[in-house]
Each structure stands twice: as structure tokens, then as C-alpha cells.
Amino acid sequence: MTAMRIGIIGCGNISPAYLNYLKDSTVAKVTALADLLPDKAAERAKEYGIEQVYSVEEMLQSPDIDIILNLTIPASHAAINIAALEHGKHVYAEKPLSISLEDAKRTLEIAEARQLRVGCAPDTFLGAGLETSRMAIQEGRIGRPVAASAFMMGAGPEGWHPNPDFFYQEGGGPMFDMGPYYLTALVNLLGPITRVSSSAQSLLPERIVKSGPRAGTRIPVYTPTHYSGTLDFAGGAIGTLITSFDIPGGSTLPRIEIYGTEGSLLVPDPNCFDGEVKIRKYDSEEWSVVEPAFAGGANERGKGIEDMARAILENREHRASGKLAYHVLEAMHAFLSSSREERHIHLESASSLPSIGAYRPADKAVLV
């Protein structure tokens, strides 16, 4: 087999980004589409020249599909992931892997038992921006990382999304919506997260849709909309992460900064694949641009499933893995649990992830 055949379930707003990238892939070929709304799948298939349009059940049962690309809403991720695996197919899901840790764990257990692959977005950490940042850390250009800060602060999606209700349901909010980008980037740069402490709240009981045909509609809020927390990494670095839908005036804070013993690293937006990386050394007053590790594009959404397809063909591990996604999901739940239970939360999955070159076990810090 020279290419893995991809079937997409879910043809909504995010699907064009994947289809635009994967149309040129030589190892991951989209051959079929499915959606609970058949007309939506048919419209997308016509737009991108995809021959097969299936129902969801037909997609799962088709012998001509190797990998299911799950682009449904978060509440449906677990059910589709598990169904795909039970039908003998590899699966790659949009983030998060699932809403509950129990469903995510079951997904990984089924995959292991059936010797199938699980992959999960985000894959932006495979882009030039974050890979250049990772390279700079591994080369020791800022010395040993000792701290990090990350901020995702803005108004809620009701300002631009015509149907933002799911953003305010369980499994939504700024942590579960945007947190995966920031946490995945931080783990890729600094290694596994061992401990989380946080505060989370929601001050507004409802939001008002501001665009589209539902403009003016009031929607209830069932999840925290502002999180502030501390992350302890296995290598000893301590991170600060704030995610919020409660900042209508915007923010000038950096997306991510990594602080080392010999300098600081300015990391580009983890929601993007490209972006300028800058370093300021301890003996300099200026920030200098780091030469990109490779030439990258602005939209490479699909790079993760492409790497998974290639890894299956080459019989190696893929990078946007289910294990990584589970670790990030556990961290997001830890933010919520820490606030509710007023205690530190230790992450069980930290031991299952490999560390990056900047982390040396012999130098592990002692947490107090």
C-alpha cells in the first residue's frame, strides 16, 4: 500500500482546512466523506472532487477506508473514535480526544487491544514555528528552561460563531477549546506535566450570539470561562497558563514565552503552524529572530494525520498521538479539578510520555 485511505466524518467549518492540505498528500488520501447532514457531505464532496459520500454507518463499515478522520463536535468525539476502532479502522480526531478521561482511556485501550492507531489534533506543533522553538531549546540556546508563561485571552466565540452554544457546554470553554493548542505546545517544548494547580470561574450566566441569523439569542453558560493556573513540568520548569473568554478588550501579553538560564524564547501563536521565533540572551537588550528550522505554510492542518499515515506505512510511532492527547486532556481536567477541590492535581499520564532533549532526569527539580 502506497497511501492510506482517509474517510472524513464531519464536514463542518474545520473540514476545508484538512481537505485543502491533504489534497496534495501522497500518503494520506481523502477518498470519502460522511456527515449526519447528507447534503453537507455532498456539497463538500462536490467542492473538493471526492467521489464517495457515505452515511456514517456506511463509512464505518466500508472496507475501502483505512483511517477515520473524526471532525465532529467534541461531544461526539469519543463515540465516533470508539466506533471506528471497533470497525477495525485507525482513527484521528479533532481535539479534544474526548470530553471525559474515562472515554479517552477506553479509546486507547481498544486501540492497543486491536493494534490500531489513535491520533489527535492539534498538530500545529509540527509546524515551522513550534518546531523552530523546540529546536532552539534542544540546542541549548536559552540554557536550561526554568519557567514558561502562556496566555489565550479574548472575548468568547459568540462574537463571530453563528452557533456558539457548544463552546459553553461541558467540554467547552476556553480550556477545552483553546487549551489543547497551548498545552500540546508546552509539553512538546518542555516535556510532560507532572502537577497542576488552578482557579476557574464563570462570572456571566449567559452569553448573547452576536452574528448570523441567531444574533440576539441568549445561550446559557455551563462551564468556566476563565482559568488561571500553574503547571509543573518533569524537567523542573514551572509554567503559568491563563485561558479566558472574558477579556473583550483584548490583551497585549505574549502567546508563549520560555525562560531559560541563559535567555528567553518568544514562541509564536500555537494555534498556527508558522510564525516568527525570537530569542533574547541574558547579555543583550535586543530580541533576535531565529532562523526557521524549515520552510512552512500558514495552513498545514492535516499534518498530524499525514504523519500518522506515513508512520503506519513505515511501522514507527507517530507524533500527534493518542497518548499525547490523553496527557493534555488529563491536564485540562486537572485545571478544573484543582479549582473545585482546592488542591494540587498530580498527572498519572506523565510517566507514559517521552521527554525532550532539554529534560535530563538527573536534574529533576524537587517540588514543594
Percent above pLDDT 90 for the chain:
88
Give the number of other CB atoms < 10 A from CB of residue 354: 10
Q: How far apart are CA 41 and CA 50, in angstroms?
A: 10
Confidence band for 362, pLDDT divided at 50, 70 and 90: very low
pLDDT in tens, 205-225: 999 999 899 999 999 999 999
Q: Alpha carbon of 197 to those of 80, 173, 231, 332, 366: distances in Å?
A: 32, 18, 7, 11, 16
Task: Say if residue 342's pLDDT is above 50.
Answer: yes
Q: Do domains 4-120 and 125-297+321-363 have the same CATH topology?
A: no
More confident residue, 170 or 333: 333
pLDDT in tens, 289-322: 999 999 988 889 999 999 999 999 999 999 999 9
Q: How far apart are CA 338 and CA 331, in angstroms?
A: 10
Fold topology of 4-120 = Rossmann fold (3.40.50)
Task: Say if residue 360's pLDDT is above 90.
Answer: no
Q: Are 126 and 247 in contact (CB under 8 A)?
A: no
- Residue from 234, 190, 182, 198 nearest 347 by CA: 234
| pLDDT value for 1 | 62
Q: Where are the alpha helices (DSSP H) in the chain?
A: 15-22, 38-48, 56-61, 74-86, 101-114, 128-138, 173-190, 303-314, 322-341
Task: Say if residue 366's pLDDT is above 90.
Answer: no
pTM attached to this predicted model? 0.93
pLDDT in tens, 126-146: 999 999 999 999 999 999 999
| pLDDT value for 38 | 94
Return mean pLDDT, the chain.
93
| pLDDT value for 358 | 42
Q: Are strands 118-120 and 90-93 parallel, antiparallel or unpaired?
A: parallel
C-alpha cell at 65: 477506508
What type of residue sits at position 205? P
| pLDDT value for 297 | 85
Domain ranges for the chain = 4-120, 125-297+321-363
pLDDT in tens, 83-115: 999 999 999 999 999 999 999 999 999 999 999
Q: Are 5 and 59 in contact (CB under 8 A)?
A: no
C-alpha cell at 273: 503552524
pLDDT in tens, 2-33: 899 999 999 998 999 999 999 999 999 999 99
Q: How far apart are CA 93 and CA 81, in angstroms?
A: 7
* CATH architecture for segment(s) 125-297+321-363: 2-Layer Sandwich (3.30)
Q: How far apart are CA 64 and CA 1, in angstroms?
A: 12
- Residue from 330, 332, 350, 359 nearest 192 by CA: 350
